[in-house]
Amino acid sequence: MIPPACHWQTGVANAHQRLRDRAPLVHCLTNQVTMNFVANTLLAAGASPAMTDHPDEAGELAGAADALLINLGTPGEASLTAMHRAALAAHAAGTPWVLDPVGAAALPLRRDVALTLRAQRPAVIRGNASEILALEDGETRGRGVDTRHRSEAGLAAAASLLDHADGIAISGEVDHLATTDDSGQPQRLRIAGGSAWQPRVTGTGCALGALIAAYLAVAESVMEAMLAAHLHVAAAAEQAERTAAGPGSFAVAWLDALDQVAPGSFTEERVTRLC
């Protein structure tokens, strides 16, 4: 169940504090273009990143880590092997993990890989609407790693994908989160906020997936983890935008803000419960 606003705010604040206190180890198999940015995001937020992508190490580390991110940003033969081994190990160890099917709507290989990895039951599938739709309907197409669809267009596909994951996070100008309660009833939230500069800095979406993984290690529920990560990112982006002069300075300011932002910024007006 999604708790009343006062309860989810307390839950998110508690998750944020536990993230700081525990510094969960997040194993990231992620986009080589954004690896440094993702690692710095986790450090700024209070988590501990591990960026090992060697196939002979990936399974062992995924089983020992507190959470795992698999991001299909720049797949190669070795990294794909590492992803499969990490997903298997995470599933076997009960390690919560996030699947970010970058480009699955544009390139069949990525979609096929995402569908294979999905069999290891990620806690969360995170992507833009085109990527979410592509995992449910192979005819959906995107433009490279960008989306052709508004985030709300992915909600019907998200309901179907909940047979394969515990939560679905759809990114866009407005973000949407989907999960089910203990009785199997759909639970959906819409998250507002953030900055228009986020899509102009490479790695912000990858970093969000990593932060969801970090919160999965400390939150009381999958919805609480997704909500905490999205609110943390949005509040930090708004704080960064107030001092930044452009995308470059925004990226640095955003990392600072991820460290500085307080849970009091994770306010009720950002969140809308959908029927």
Amino acid at position 273, single letter: R
DSSP conformation letters of the chain: -PPPHHHHHHHHHHHHHHHHHH--EEEEE--TTTHHHHHHHHHHHT-EEE----HHHHHHHHHHSSEEEEE-SS--HHHHHHHHHHHHHHHHHT--EEEE-TTTTT-HHHHHHHHHHHTT--SEEEEEHHHHHHHH-TT---BTTB-SS-GGGGHHHHHHHTTT-SEEEEESSSEEEEEE-TTS-EEEEEE----TTGGGSTTHHHHHHHHHHHHHTT-SSHHHHHHHHHHHHHHHHHHHHTT-SSHHHHHHHHHHHHHH--GGGS-GGGEEEE-
Query: Over its length of 275 residues, how does the chain's per-residue pLDDT go in tens digits?
Result: 455 555 678 889 999 999 999 999 999 999 899 999 999 999 999 999 999 999 999 999 999 999 999 999 888 999 999 999 999 999 999 999 999 999 888 788 999 999 999 999 999 999 998 899 989 865 544 444 444 555 667 788 888 899 999 999 998 888 999 998 877 888 999 998 889 999 899 999 999 999 999 999 999 999 999 999 999 999 999 999 999 999 999 999 999 999 999 877 776 677 887 65
The predicted structure's pLDDT at residue 178: 94
* Segment 84-124, tens digit of pLDDT: 999 999 999 999 999 999 988 878 899 999 999 999 999 99
Burial class (CB in 10 A: 0-12, 13-18, 19+), 99: buried
pLDDT the model gives residue 112: 93
Please report, for the chain, the start and end positions of each structural domain, with discontinuous segments joined by +.
Answer: 5-231+269-274
| Contact between 93 and 83 (Cβ < 8 Å) | no
How far, CA to CA in Å, does 109 sit from each of 25, 102, 106, 114, 143?
29, 11, 9, 9, 15
Rounded to whole angstroms, the Cα distance separating 195 from 69 reads 24
Instruction: Give the pLDDT score at 68.
Output: 98
Instruction: Identify the pLDDT of residue 233.
Output: 95
Residue pLDDT, tens place only, 45-94: 999 999 999 999 999 999 999 999 999 988 899 999 999 999 999 999 99
What is the reported pLDDT for 226?
96
Quote the pLDDT of residue 140: 47
Amino acid at 213: A
- Bridge partner list, 99: 70, 125
Output the pLDDT for position 144: 44
| C-beta of residue 48 within 8 angstroms of C-beta of residue 267 | no
Indicate the pTM of the whole model.
0.92
Report the CATH architecture of 5-231+269-274.
Answer: 3-Layer(aba) Sandwich (3.40)
The residue type found at 38 is V
Q: What would you report as the CA-atom Rg of the chain, rounded to the nearest whole angstrom? A: 17
C-beta separation of 255 from 40 below 8 A: yes
The per-residue pLDDT for 162 is: 93
